[in-house]
Structure 1
Amino acid sequence: MLISNVSITHKTTVLILIVIIVIIGVNAYITLPREAAPDITFPFIMVFSNYEGTSPSDMESLVTRPLERKLQTLSEVKEMTSTSMEGSSQIFLEFETDVDTDTALQQVRDKVDQAKPDLPSDMNDPIINEFSSSDWPIMFVVISGEVGLVQLKHIAEELEEEIEGVSGVLEAEIVGGLEREIRVEYNQDRLTAYGLVLSQVIQTVRNNNQNMPGGSLDIGEARYVLKAPAEISSPTEIDNLVIAVKDGKPIYISDVADIRDTYKDRDSYSRLNGVESVSIRVTKRAGEHLLRIAEEIKQIVNRREETLPEQVAITVTSDQSEEIYTMVADLENNIVTGLLLVLIVIFTSLGFRNAILVALAIPFSMLFSFFIIQSLGITLNFVVLFSLILALGMLVDNAIVIVENIYRHHTTERKPLIRAAMEGTSEVAWPVIASTATTVAAFIPLLFWPGIMGEFMGYLPKTVIIALLASLFVAMVITPTLSSIFIKASTRPPKKPKKGKSKQFGPIVRTYRRLLSFSLQYRLLFLFLFFSVLVLMIYAFTQSGLGVEMFPDTEPRRITVKLQAPEGTNIQQTNNFASKAETILKKYGNIRYVTTMVGNDGPNSAEIVVDMVDRELRKGPQEPGTDDGKIYFKNSNDTLEAVRQDLVASIVGAEVNVDKAEEGPPVGAPINVEIHGDEYEILAQIAEELKTNIQDLPGIVDLQDDYEAGLPEIQIDIDKERAALLDLDAATIGFLIKGAVNGIEIGKYHEGEDEYDIVARLPEEQRENIQNIMRIRIPDPTGDPIPLSSVATISTTSGLSAIKHIDQRRVVTVSSNVAKGFNAQRVLGEVRKIANSIQLPVGYVFQYTGENEEMQKSQAFMSKAFVIAVLLIAFVLVTQFDSILTPFIIMTSVILSFIGVFLGLIMTQKP
């Protein structure tokens, strides 16, 4: 017995079930966590090491290679990439996607622990992190105004504490501002005059800035805890600390050093629309409701704004909740539109009641789908929303077939309503099930999409399959039951059509019948014609140059501008480049926010994020409100191209890269050519030759390489033999040199609940001259000061600013974006031809990665998935018809449908 028969005979139960589905579905829709992207954990683990003041080449030999040698023994590592920079090393480990990240993380920690004996002893322990899409910020809260960075930072710290108190917030991180520091600026000449060395100053501060426990003491019947508090209570207190006593006179720190309550060296700039700012980067926990979190944060911001001075503003930028609101609204609009269209179409053929019965399949299927989606722990993200919209048109297919057949049994064959519902449903039940099964079969292979792309896009087949199965349940259980209640019986006797005529068909159907009859008379000719058109369409598409692309070229909500100045450029000059770019951006309309960050990736780098006005609010040229002298484009792609050309032409002395803000899984640049080898100089020559040869290719924009040479170095060469004769070693000498230039942390100063570093360092004016560094005095084992110049010499050279490895081999990457209107695959094909013409030395190879690599993997998988889907569909059809020929005939419709696919792509000029 079919389930539809049971449901028809138990109407009350089904009606209660409908109420339950509505309640749990509405509740699931309201409470379902919403986020921009699917919450996936990437199979990436990063090992970050910091060793301040160390050159890239030394970082490579001292830190990166020892770690790589241990990490290479890990199994299931797909690729290991490293970058050695000034003072830091980053190693990225990409694991296979089926690896448990917690297990991999522990294995990486174990290998790093094994490598620690080979690392410099004065280096901090490496930091190990995993990556998740939850690490992407959901918004930036930007505090700006002309009140000084200190006040802005204070406001940001207060906001940070409130935001982190919001349920679901993972972290609120302050970016920008100034950080307080207590600095002991010692004078080398005064130290020499008193016969002192820096280590004595350091030890004095450390010994007099700590709380020492004194144990416990029993006095009578009471027990007391003894302690000797000696923490510094004020920065001025450091002045009066005694370093030594000579000739009966104390030598105070104030005699040899100046105490400054100041700020750490500025290593970043942050602005919003050209105004100094401090930002709070907000991330959420996995699976939490983004819209609720964003709303609570905005309420906190609104309350805080009421207490701030007029010249201070708090702005929320890069707000993902706005995008989610838009996508959810699109889904709701599509559902309403679908309901109306179904009502109109079905009303014209089956009447209003039947149209209502069919249309109800949409909300019931959607609500049931929301409940299942929530039960499986899936969030409502843009992939799921797109999938629901994709499935929306298929939700009524089953209901239409069943309602129409019940209606026919009841009105044409004059069967009682209950019997008509049972027999009408039974008659088409297996075809309906088979039809749904064939559609589900088409999506099942996509569940096995490999790699990060599969983790990201796997939500599409899951959601579509859930929606289709929900619609099948509704069609087999709810629709027959409601039909058995609400289909209206006809009171007129059926009319027999005249012979040779069928008045139930309208002019459209009669025209179709004549065309079908004609086609059947010349069936072989028409088959040949259709297959010829298919071949013609395939040929036309291949010749159109449209090609294939990973994701559609959509209008960006945000544009990113990245500036890369030559190595050795200080942060002030880089900030000047960024300021010039901001000035140029002011020429363009439809821009909502311009957020500038300088120094995040080094003193010679800057990034500007341009938030565009919402699409429906953008103004085109000559529209009202565009007479302010700015340049307006309705399409943000046009704005991007114009900004790119303007910035490249105007900013001289820095590389400019203008691109869309990345959405979806990370896939790399459209053109990404890796050059692998051993000698960096040879790699650089090959990269330069390739760039020169391809720079004039049509479609190539933002061409650059990641070879960064020319970092100025002043080498202090230690005479190890002479140092040994004086009982000195290179480690001690290097430590004091590093401390003089970058500072040595010698303690902490506490003020309330806040903690600040106490740092010993040479004054800035003495650090500007290398000869002052050479006058540093190093104590020998007896305490006698030895000038650095007596055991070392100086020389000036130029070194690499960053050294990159892939699987322990050095690599230089040439990359570029593709201009609007050009297909990335065709441009890459031209790049390949030119690269193949370059004679490479033995041991040097090109590898094409980035978006191309991901696209090749996806195309290979999709080809297999298509074959498997066709086989699954054929299996379902063979099972249904118990025939080979009939499914073969049906499957030709799948093949011939590509006529419309390729024709549509050619007509719309879409790849």
Structure 2
Amino acid sequence: MLDKIIEFSLKQKFVAISLVLLMTIAGLSAFFNIPINSLPDVTPNQVLVITKAGRYSPFDVEKLVSYPIETAMNGLPNVSEVRSVSQFGLSAVTIEFEEGTDTYFARSMVSQRIQAIKDELPEGVSAPQLGPISTALGEIYQYVVRGPGYSLTELRDMQEWLIAPQLKTVKGVTEITAFGGFVKQYEVTVIPGRMRAFNMGLKEIIDAIQNNNSVSGGNYLEHNREQYIIRGFGQIRTKEDIENIILVNKDNKPVYIRDVADVSLGKQLRQGAVTQDGKGEIVTGIVMMLKGGNGKNVIAEVEKKIESINKGLPENVKIEKFYDQSELIARTTSTIWVNLIEGGFFVVSILLLLLGEITGALIVASVIPFSMLFAFIGMSEFGLAANLMSLGAIDFGMVVDGSVVMVENIVHRLQSKGKDENVDDVIMKASKEVARPIFFGVLIILMVYVPIMTFKGMEGILFRPMAITVAAAVLGSLILALVYVPAISALIFRKGIKVRKNYLIDWLKPKYKNFLEKYLEKRKKILTVALSVFGISVILMFFIGTEFLPELDEGSILIEQVRMPSVTLTESVENANWLAGILTTKIPEIKTVVPKTGRSDLANDWMGVHQTDIWVILKPRDEWRSGV
């Protein structure tokens, strides 16, 4: 089989090289389409059910909301765990599914159970909602809505009604979360004495407001050859609309809401707030990427959309970015590419020194990018993203191993060929001599990665992409060594090869021979030393530190601040704002500090008002003080 492959590549050289070119096109297409992120997303396959229970305590939320929803989720196919968090006014139930379960199938099953249970929830509890199709790594872009002269309530309105709807149109964005500021609401404060005077109850006021806030249709009328749509518009738009709602008629005189209550413009109670640099509260937005999206592309599209949105905002209002993952992605990918380029350079340099033939070294070097393209094809087929874990483990020594053996034997045979021998015949003979060792050598390397491909759970999420990527690159290098290298060698060396003296090898050979002869006589000592070194390394292994993921300099620091659970939101915000001011003024390397206290309305991160995440965004390192 291997001999026939060699014969095909030499008899059909241009066909073989054309196949490599087709693979190159497919690899480039895969490269430009695979997602590029910083790290693998280790979040399990899960669905979040969020239920707002305005006035209920944590105990009541758990008993009346979280527990019924948890119970309803039991029995769903492929569910591995159901857990919940119950806070004041909020229930968050997480349903975790087995690996491999389709996300949309899981959400469909959960949605069906929600429909069956929602009518059993107590009065005052909103309908349960599914959380966004995103993960913790999906918070790819965060910004501030800045507008001097505008209140926090007005800026929050702009965020929710002008900015968020437009950002949601960006491909790859699944949710825009507003955090900070105040949500506008109308407050009706009843006056008990006036209510008694008119013999009115609180329920009558509530019913009157609900019944007078609607839109109805009345079909249409035809008049003078034209059709007129009949529409009844009764929605409340202003404070005066509420004040003028009629409650009842007393002695043929209407009693209005303004007669028994005061109506004012107020703010909805909140469980979170955001400040910046010790200068007070701000309104922020968080862009959440669809699970499995291409972080690099989504961020670029979000920035384009924000540039467009800024042009349509009111005067002096603009969106300012304070954090995104583009820098982290750029640092990660640049680290990978620098390592790959440096590795390729060293491989070519060593090959040039050892082979003594620059053309042969370049043939081997060309295998590196082709093998990488083959790896991208494998990543695309398996739906993998390019990140530090999937690409960082590629070893060029393994990639060029087969091609080095093939080229070295071809060069050696061509240097010693007779005058009457045909170049193609010599290359075919040389290739067949090493085809089997190359095949089994690469096969052994591939077998090492097979167990890793069977990993499940967290280990599988982390290491399976790496194993698949390396295996694809090594498999590509095997195909190239058996098909591409003989064919390209036959074309390049068609006029033969000049015999060059390799001074380095000539100098090393006698020294290595003497070394080998000397120590082969002391086999027991050599074996003892080898076993001793192995034993010491095993002992040292237990003293080496471990970490979950490779350390990355993201250019930012996250500080978690925790206070007494009984603290108020106001106190927490003031304390966090004070700390942000201290950090900003005392440390010049800090660009901005954004403390986030409590939870946002979406509540995908359910912190209490006693907890604060302090985002410390650092300046570029070239702007730091020396020695820091």
CA–CA separation in structure 1 for the residues paired with 2:540 and 2:373: 43
> Contact 1:53–1:86 at 8 Å: present in 2 too?
yes
Gaps in structure 1 of 5+ consecutive residues = 496-501, 623-632, 634-911
Q: Secondary structure at the match of 1:568?
A: coil
> Contact 2:411–2:497 at 8 Å: present in 1 too?
no
The counterpart of 1:144, out of the listed 143, 146, 154, is 146
Once the two structures are superposed, what CA deviation does each residue of 1:786-814 show, in whole Å capped at 9, x if it has no partner?
xxxxxxxxxxxxxxxxxxxxxxxxxxxxx
CA–CA separation in structure 2 for the residues paired with 1:617 and 1:138: 25
The counterpart of 1:481, out of the listed 487, 495, 513, is 487
- With structure 2 as the length reference, what TM-score do the two structures score? 0.87
> Contact 1:43–1:131 at 8 Å: present in 2 too?
no
The counterpart of 2:574, out of the listed 573, 576, 595, is 576
Deviation at 1:10, TM superposition (A): 1.2
Deviation at 1:417, TM superposition (A): 2.2
The counterpart of 2:246, out of the listed 238, 242, 247, is 242
Which structure 2 residues correspond to residues 717-796 of structure 1 after superposition, within 5 A?
Answer: none
The counterpart of 2:235, out of the listed 231, 241, 246, is 231
> Contact 2:41–2:137 at 8 Å: present in 1 too?
no
Q: Secondary structure at the match of 2:32?
A: helix
Deviation at 1:400, TM superposition (A): 0.9
CA–CA separation in structure 1 for the residues paired with 2:544 and 2:623: 29
Q: Structure 1 counterpart of 2:168, which letter?
A: E
CA change 1:392–1:145 in 2 (3 A) is farther
> Contact 1:563–1:607 at 8 Å: present in 2 too?
yes
Q: Which residue matches 2:68?
A: 66
Which structure 2 residues correspond to residues 25-64 of structure 1 after superposition, within 5 A?
Answer: 25-38=27-40, 42-64=44-66
Root-mean-square deviation (CA), in Å? Answer: 3.2
Does residue 1:379 correspond to 2:378, yes or no?
no
CA change 1:134–1:81 in 2 (3 A) is closer
Q: Which residue matches 2:303?
A: 298
Corresponding residue pairs, total: 611
- With structure 1 as the length reference, what TM-score do the two structures score? 0.62
Of 61-70 and 299-308, deviating more is: 299-308
CA change 1:5–1:327 in 2 (3 A) is farther
CA–CA separation in structure 2 for the residues paired with 1:409 and 1:424: 6
Which structure 2 residues correspond to residues 446-525 of structure 1 after superposition, within 5 A?
Answer: 446-487=452-493, 489-490=496-497, 505-525=505-525
Q: Which residue matches 1:280?
A: 285
CA–CA separation in structure 1 for the residues paired with 2:131 and 2:568: 29
Deviation at 1:134, TM superposition (A): 8.1
Deviation at 1:151, TM superposition (A): 4.9
CA change 1:190–1:224 in 2 (3 A) is same
Which structure 2 residues correspond to residues 192-591 of structure 1 after superposition, within 5 A?
Answer: 192-214=196-218, 226-275=230-279, 276-302=281-307, 314-350=319-355, 351-387=357-393, 390-414=394-418, 415-487=421-493, 489-490=496-497, 505-542=505-542, 545-553=543-551, 555=553, 557-586=555-584, 587-591=586-590
CA–CA separation in structure 2 for the residues paired with 1:547 and 1:189: 72
Q: Secondary structure at the match of 2:234?
A: coil
> Contact 1:342–1:358 at 8 Å: present in 2 too?
no
> Contact 1:409–1:424 at 8 Å: present in 2 too?
yes
CA change 1:549–1:301 in 2 (3 A) is closer
Q: Secondary structure at the match of 1:506?
A: helix
CA change 1:208–1:67 in 2 (3 A) is closer
> Contact 2:276–2:592 at 8 Å: present in 1 too?
yes
Once the two structures are superposed, what CA deviation does each residue of 1:677-726 show, in whole Å capped at 9, x if it has no partner?
xxxxxxxxxxxxxxxxxxxxxxxxxxxxxxxxxxxxxxxxxxxxxxxxxx
> Contact 1:44–1:131 at 8 Å: present in 2 too?
no
Q: Which residue matches 1:9?
A: 11
> Contact 1:44–1:130 at 8 Å: present in 2 too?
no
Q: Which residue matches 1:886?
A: none
Deviation at 1:434, TM superposition (A): 1.0
Deviation at 1:220, TM superposition (A): 9.8
CA–CA separation in structure 1 for the residues paired with 2:131 and 2:48: 5
Q: Which residue matches 2:156?
A: 153
Q: Structure 2 counterpart of 1:253, which letter?
A: I
CA change 1:102–1:213 in 2 (3 A) is closer
CA–CA separation in structure 2 for the residues paired with 1:299 and 1:606: 31
Q: Structure 2 counterpart of 1:95, which letter?
A: F
> Contact 1:558–1:611 at 8 Å: present in 2 too?
yes
Does residue 1:594 correspond to 2:593, yes or no?
yes
CA change 1:281–1:393 in 2 (3 A) is farther
Deviation at 1:472, TM superposition (A): 1.0
CA–CA separation in structure 2 for the residues paired with 1:530 and 1:524: 10
Q: Higher relative contact order at CA 8 Å, sep ≥6: structure 1 or structure 2? A: 2
Q: Secondary structure at the match of 2:262?
A: strand
Deviation at 1:582, TM superposition (A): 0.8
CA–CA separation in structure 1 for the residues paired with 2:475 and 2:40: 22
> Contact 2:24–2:370 at 8 Å: present in 1 too?
yes
Once the two structures are superposed, what CA deviation does each residue of 1:8-63 show, in whole Å capped at 9, x if it has no partner?
11122233334333333334333433233446772323333332211222223323
CA–CA separation in structure 2 for the residues paired with 1:475 and 1:213: 75
CA–CA separation in structure 2 for the residues paired with 1:220 and 1:337: 83
Deviation at 1:346, TM superposition (A): 1.9
CA change 1:393–1:328 in 2 (3 A) is farther
The counterpart of 1:82, out of the listed 76, 84, 102, is 84
Q: Secondary structure at the match of 2:214?
A: coil
Q: Secondary structure at the match of 1:42?
A: coil
CA change 1:521–1:503 in 2 (3 A) is farther
Q: Structure 1 counterpart of 2:241, which letter?
A: E
CA change 1:133–1:227 in 2 (3 A) is closer
Q: Structure 1 counterpart of 2:341, which letter?
A: V
Deviation at 1:481, TM superposition (A): 1.0
> Contact 1:38–1:383 at 8 Å: present in 2 too?
yes
Of 396-405 and 349-358, deviating more is: 349-358
Q: Structure 2 counterpart of 1:55, which letter?
A: S
> Contact 1:51–1:123 at 8 Å: present in 2 too?
yes
Once the two structures are superposed, what CA deviation does each residue of 1:505-557 show, in whole Å capped at 9, x if it has no partner?
43334332222212211112211221122223323444xx3354433455554
CA change 1:54–1:490 in 2 (3 A) is closer
> Contact 1:97–1:452 at 8 Å: present in 2 too?
no
> Contact 1:185–1:258 at 8 Å: present in 2 too?
yes
Once the two structures are superposed, what CA deviation does each residue of 1:44-94 show, in whole Å capped at 9, x if it has no partner?
233333322112222233233334444445565433322322222233233
Once the two structures are superposed, what CA deviation does each residue of 1:374-424 show, in whole Å capped at 9, x if it has no partner?
34433323322324xx23332211111100000011102445321222111
Q: Structure 1 counterpart of 2:412, which letter?
A: R
CA change 1:177–1:214 in 2 (3 A) is same
Does residue 1:166 correspond to 2:170, yes or no?
yes
Q: Structure 2 counterpart of 1:422, which letter?
A: M
Once the two structures are superposed, what CA deviation does each residue of 1:421-456 show, in whole Å capped at 9, x if it has no partner?
211111111111111111111111111111133134
CA–CA separation in structure 1 for the residues paired with 2:441 and 2:619: 44
CA–CA separation in structure 2 for the residues paired with 1:70 and 1:304: 42
Q: Secondary structure at the match of 2:460?
A: helix
> Contact 1:134–1:286 at 8 Å: present in 2 too?
no
Of 305-314 and 351-360, deviating more is: 305-314
Q: Structure 2 counterpart of 1:513, which letter?
A: K
Q: Secondary structure at the match of 1:567?
A: coil
Q: Structure 2 counterpart of 1:407, which letter?
A: V
Q: Which residue matches 2:604?
A: none
Once the two structures are superposed, what CA deviation does each residue of 1:457-488 show, in whole Å capped at 9, x if it has no partner?
32111101111111111111111111112236
> Contact 1:42–1:131 at 8 Å: present in 2 too?
no
> Contact 1:176–1:270 at 8 Å: present in 2 too?
yes
- Identical-pair percentage: 26
> Contact 1:81–1:92 at 8 Å: present in 2 too?
yes
Q: Structure 1 counterpart of 2:320, which letter?
A: T
Gaps in structure 2 of 5+ consecutive residues = 600-606
> Contact 1:410–1:420 at 8 Å: present in 2 too?
yes
> Contact 1:145–1:277 at 8 Å: present in 2 too?
no
> Contact 1:39–1:132 at 8 Å: present in 2 too?
no
